[in-house]
Amino acid sequence: MSRVMNEKRSEAAKQMIADHDQSNFYTFRQRVHLLSLQGNYMAGLADFTDPSQVGDLLCGLDNARIPFQFDPKTSALLVTSKSSIKDTFSKVFQKPHPTVDDNVREMVLRIMNEGADDETRTGIRSRAINSVMHTYDISRRQVPSVSSKYTWNEGVVVELVWMVSGDTNIRFLKEHKVNIWDPWVKPGTEVFENGKLVAGELPKIYQHQWRGWDDTRIVCREEVDALEQKGYTFQGMLLTPDDLSSGACNGSVAVVRRKIDQLAKVIDQLKNKPDDRGIILSAWNVAELDEMALRPCHTLCQFFSKPMSVRERLEWMGAYKPAGFEYMSEEVLNLAAEHDDRRHEDQLKHHPETLDFLDKAGVPKRKLSSLLYMRSNDVPLGHSFNIVQYAVLTHMVAQVVGMATDTFTYVGGDAHIYDDQWPGVLEWLGQEPHPDSHPTIELNPHIKDLFEFKVSDVKITGYKHSGKVKFPKAAV
């Protein structure tokens, strides 16, 4: 089947070249064929008889780097290569290190071409794909913030600081002019001032699970003492029917309860058991899904740390110039360039004092990565917001546990675009990533407790964008 498909594609390429006009420029239809051959994206568009119907997508061809001009060498690859034409074009066009804008654009095109249309609980149809994964280098304080359209990084920081605090009332958000949670305030908890909503509760949402996951148990009375040693508190005795009095608990049944602070546990694990495979922050509390203001879209985040090599520690010191050791920056970077961990391993094992200055300078010994799993991801609105948020959270956690940062990985279980978002998506595809956008995080270096961060302690600098794009309100 693949051989026949490749032969058909090769014939299509030959016909495209044969039909090529004397001006040596591809037509719209030929450029669409090139795009479909490259990654099977938007292949259906080639069937349009009037290119003006999809004129807005010309920019998508540009962004996918589909050439305007005929190149005999490139075209020859199409005709003569024995390998898959798709593979050939991947080699020609694919970037070795895709940026956040590259990844998001590729995801949008996949949804456009490969997505499955489905009905949603909101009544607005969507098109979705699954199993998306992107990994970003955040080792130099980078933040993966989309620049081809405006990303509200300030709002990201406000929401994150609020969530880390465990507060489930929107008052804090409203004070910082963030209104994204207004539609989900629990009826009857709203507070209005001068006719404007200023506060209200959001039951059982992310931060409630992060900071106060409820664990209530019914146990035998004799088990209470042992459970109290584990942090449970005795709530009282439970009256049982007479026919249970002869059971295992002899009719003496107690209720105990505790609140689990997952974020505090994450910090403790990273400090004391950094190799633990269960350093996980979860918002998916199955027992409380029906009570939540909104089921969690960003469902789970796992943290992973590993030791830094000597070379990595030297590079870190040279790049960040710890206070009191700034003068060593150039020397340390030169040392890092010459250092070979394998070759110098025995030397350092027998003479660890050789690099004592790294410890004295406070250079981290481990580096932290995180993986975010999103069960449901509104790509035009939510994606750029959420990946920034968890990358920033990783930076914050790394600082308070004394680690450097390494990578941030996004995994999408259901990445989708709603039907009413497509006009905005087409506009977005027409905007190039901003060439001067290099966002990085600046944290107050004096903060050593995750729960002491204020909005003013977290800044994203160096961000630029190519313009705002309007989308309808999220349907989630």
HEC string of the chain equals: CHHHHHHHHHHHHHHHHHCCCCCCECCHHHHHHHHHHHHCCCHHHHHCCCHHHHHHHHHHHHHCCCCCECCHHHHHHHHHCCCCHHHHHHHHHCCCCCCHHHHHHHHHHHHHHHCEEECCCCCCCEEEECCEEEEEECCCCECCCCCCCCCCHHHHHHHHHHHHHCCCECHHHHHCCCCCCHHHCCCCCCEEECCEEEECECCCCHHHHHHHEEEEEEEEHHHHHHHHCCCCEEEEEECCCHHHCCCCCCCCEEEEEEEECHHHHHHHHHHHCCCCCCCEEECCCHHHHHHCCCCCCEEEEEEEEEECCHHHHHHHHHHHCCCCCHHHHHHHHHHHHHCCHHHHHHHHHHCHHHHHHHHHCCCCCEEEEEEEEECCEEHHHHHHHHHHHHHHHHHHHHHHHCCEEEEEEEEECCEEEEHHHHHHHHHHHCCCCCCCCCCEEEECCCCCCHHHCCHHHEEEECCCCCCCCCCCCCCC
CA distances from 2 to 8, 16, 91, 92, 308 (A): 10, 21, 19, 21, 45
Residue 44: Cβ within 10 Å count: 11
pLDDT recorded at residue 256: 84
Q: Which amino acid is at 426?
A: L
| Burial (0-12, 13-18, 19+ Cβ within 10 Å), 326 | exposed
Against a cut of 0.75, is the pTM above it?
Answer: yes
- What's the CA gap between 23 and 116, in Å, rounded? 40
Buried b (16+ CB within 10 A) or exposed e, 117-145: eeeeeeeeebbbbeebebebebbebbbbb
Which ranges of the chain have pLDDT less than 70? 1-97, 239-248, 250-251, 474-476
User: Any idea what the Cα angle at residue 383 is, between residues 405 and 394, rounded to 5°?
Assistant: 20
Nearby residues of 33 by Cβ (< 8 Å), 6 or more positions away: 12, 13, 16, 46
With a CB cutoff of 8 Å and minimum separation 6, the contacts of 16 are 26, 30, 33, 34, 75
Residue 197's DSSP bridge partners are: 192
pLDDT of residue 442: 97
Give the C-alpha separation, 259 to 470, whole Å. 41
The answer to whether 287 and 322 have CB atoms below 8 angstroms apart is no
Pairing of strands 404-412, 366-374: parallel
- Measured CA angle at 32 (ends 29, 35), to 5 deg: 155
pLDDT on residue 352: 75
pLDDT value at position 354? 74
- When computed from its CA atoms, the radius of gyration of the chain, rounded to whole angstroms, is 28
Per-residue model confidence (pLDDT) at position 107: 94
Euclidean distance between CA atoms 169 and 255, whole angstroms: 28
Looking at residue 7, what is its pLDDT? 53
Q: In what order do the strands lie in the sheet with 233-238?
A: 213-220, 253-260, 233-238
